[in-house]
């Protein structure tokens, strides 16, 4: 047996042999192991996957009210100086990077820890918002951005009464 016989993706022509005997427990085990490895290694290719290696997956809540669009993003461990927020062409872009370093030296040991993370998120804004009047606040690790709607957009809002049939 060679090492390439153990790697599932090395011999694509052997897949037909493994799927041919559905009653064969060894073939069934091989298929299951192939699936496990493909699921595991596939995580690295997906953005916002379980490992999120790209670090771009800032989770945010976007709510559109009658008079504004509100965005809230949890950014634990970040400071205001670490956040870059821009609005252009009806796109709200959030960039952030945190760097935490901790060093501790006491009698008998030396501790050094580093933690890095970055966030990049672009949120499309609906037509009729006034990006010049956008404001943002940052409190307790939560960024809240409010982009008000223009008066024309608010005037076009029409309520429809719902009647029972």
Q: Which residue has the tokens 């950014």?
A: 75
How many CB atoms are located within 10 Å of the residue 165 CB? 2
Query: Would you state the pLDDT for residue 70?
Result: 92
Task: Name the residue among 134, 142, 148 with its Cα closest to residue 86.
Answer: 134
Q: What is the pLDDT of residues 70-110, one digit of tens each?
A: 999 988 878 888 889 998 878 888 888 888 788 888 888 88
Residue 35, sorted as left (phi over 0), alpha (psi -120 to 50) or beta, turns out to be alpha
Task: Determine the structural domain holding residue 103 and report its residue range.
Answer: 60-155
Query: Both 107 and 64 in a single domain?
Result: yes
Query: Both 86 and 140 in a single domain?
Result: yes
Q: Is residue 146 part of a domain?
A: yes
Query: Both 33 and 75 in a single domain?
Result: no
Q: Looking at the 3D structure of the chain, how many domains does it have? A: 2
- CB neighbour class for 69 (10 Å; exposed up to 12, middle 13-18, buried from 19): buried
Q: What are 24's two structure tokens?
A: 């064969």
pTM listed for this prediction: 0.55
């Amino acid at each position: 047996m060679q090492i390439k016989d153990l790697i599932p993706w090395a011999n694509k022509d052997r897949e037909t042999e493994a799927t041919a005997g559905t009653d064969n427990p060894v073939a069934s085990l091989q298929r299951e192991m192939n699936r496990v490895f493909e699921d595991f290694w596939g995580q690295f290719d997906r953005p916002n996957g379980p490992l999120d290696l790209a670090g771009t997956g800032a989770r945010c809540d976007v709510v559109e009210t009658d008079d504004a669009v509100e965005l809230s993003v949890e950014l634990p461990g970040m400071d205001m100086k670490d956040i870059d927020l821009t609005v252009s062409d009806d796109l709200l872009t959030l960039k952030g990077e945190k760097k935490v370093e901790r060093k501790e030296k006491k009698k008998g040991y030396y501790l050094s820890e580093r933690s890095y993370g970055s966030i990049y998120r672009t949120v499309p804004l609906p037509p009729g918002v006034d990006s010049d009047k956008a404001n943002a606040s940052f409190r307790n690790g939560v960024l809240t951005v409010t982009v008000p709607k223009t008066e024309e957009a608010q005037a076009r809002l029409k309520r429809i009464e719902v009647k029972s049939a």
